[in-house]
Amino acid sequence: MSRFLPTDLPDEDLVATLAPALDGLYHGPARLPARTGGRTAALLALKGFDGRDYIGRNDLRGRVSRLSMYLRHGMLGMAELAEYARGRLRGRDLAEFLRQLTWREYFLRVLAQEGGRVLENLEPPKSAVRWSTALPGDVQEGQTGLPCADAWVRHLVRDGWMHNHERLWFAAYLVHWRRVDWRAGYRFFREHLLDGDLASNALSWQWVAGTFSAKPYFMNQQNIEKYSAGRWCTGCTADCPFMGEYAELEHRLFGGPLPERP
């Protein structure tokens, strides 16, 4: 495409120039991404990440690196990040950051071994469920009536990014509560996530679905409330499908004996 585009095209002209050239490869209005791309922006983002309190990354208020987009597009390298982390981070923060890099490396190695099979169930689902193949319209539009789920979708579409816990919650809601095939969620994320690479995206969805893990992942209302500081739960009047203890939800979602109450 560089043969047809001037190399000095200013950012304010990118949308008007690229939208016709990429017609048919996207839907919705053309717009620039929420974050600046490129090697220069990547290095600035890396320099601004000191890693303090990274161990608390599961909390939506926690400190996350936001570097995955630059990894996804090759603006930063795995070894480069590991070297930076060993020079700047300490203790549990360093261990957690390296653990996340290791997961990424592992997913890439699974992709190298399995190829296109990562877009199919690598293992049979751990429960007898039937999944629909289409993404429901109310989910896609963020109009489910659940404040948390609708916020996750808005965050994804608006910012091209979601917190790691939001991704898990949304995936579990879609697959286990709405009974939608994980591949529909994978495609939804692939369309919108700026860091949505094939390996991490597909295999994380499979981990939630239970087709690449010992059991499906799911959460309850207490988990959402805890790690979001009640962002959506406080004052919520929706009929919350996530309410209940884990054993009760497991019975409701996947069958099996109902746990005995003490």
Report pLDDT digits (tens) over 115-144.
999 999 999 999 888 999 999 999 999 999
CA gap 110, 153 in Å, rounded? 28
Residues linked to residue 132 through DSSP beta bridges, in sequence order:
180
Q: How many degrees, rounded to 5, is the angle at CA 207 between CA 240 and CA 226? A: 40
Radius of gyration of the CA atoms of the chain, in A? 20
Fold annotation for 137-254: DNA Cyclobutane Dipyrimidine Photolyase, subunit A; domain 3 (1.10.579)
- Taking only the tens place, the pLDDT of each residue in 31-70 is 888 888 999 999 999 999 999 999 999 999 999 999 999 9
**Helix ranges restricted to H, 141-181:** 147-159, 164-172
pLDDT band per the 50, 70, 90 thresholds, residue 1: very low
pLDDT at 258: 65
Class of domain 34-116: mainly alpha
**Start-end ranges of CATH 1.25.40.80 in the chain?**
34-116
Q: CA-CA distances (angstroms) from residue 123 to 83, 158, 206, 210, 247?
A: 35, 33, 9, 8, 24
Nearest to 203 by CA among 98, 113, 94, 133: 113
**Is the confidence at residue 2, as pLDDT, over 90?**
no
**Is the confidence at residue 196, as pLDDT, over 70?**
yes
pLDDT at 261: 61
**Start-end ranges of CATH 1.10.579.10 in the chain?**
137-254
CA gap 101, 234 in Å, rounded? 34
Predicted model pTM: 0.91
Q: CA-CA distances (angstroms) from residue 49 to 94, 97, 128, 137, 254?
A: 12, 11, 44, 38, 41
Task: Write the CB contacts of 44 (distance below 8 Å, at least 6 apart in sequence).
Answer: none
Residue 133 is given by DSSP the state S
pLDDT at 262: 57
Distance of alpha carbon 164 from the chain centroid = 6
Answer whether 88's CB lies under 8 Å from 80's CB.
Answer: no
> What are the φ/ψ torsions at residue 171 (nearest 5 degrees)?
-60, -45
Within the chain, strands assigned E span none
Task: Please give the average per-residue pLDDT across 68-90, as a whole number.
Answer: 97
The encoded tokens of residue 152 equal 């996750």
pLDDT at 128: 83
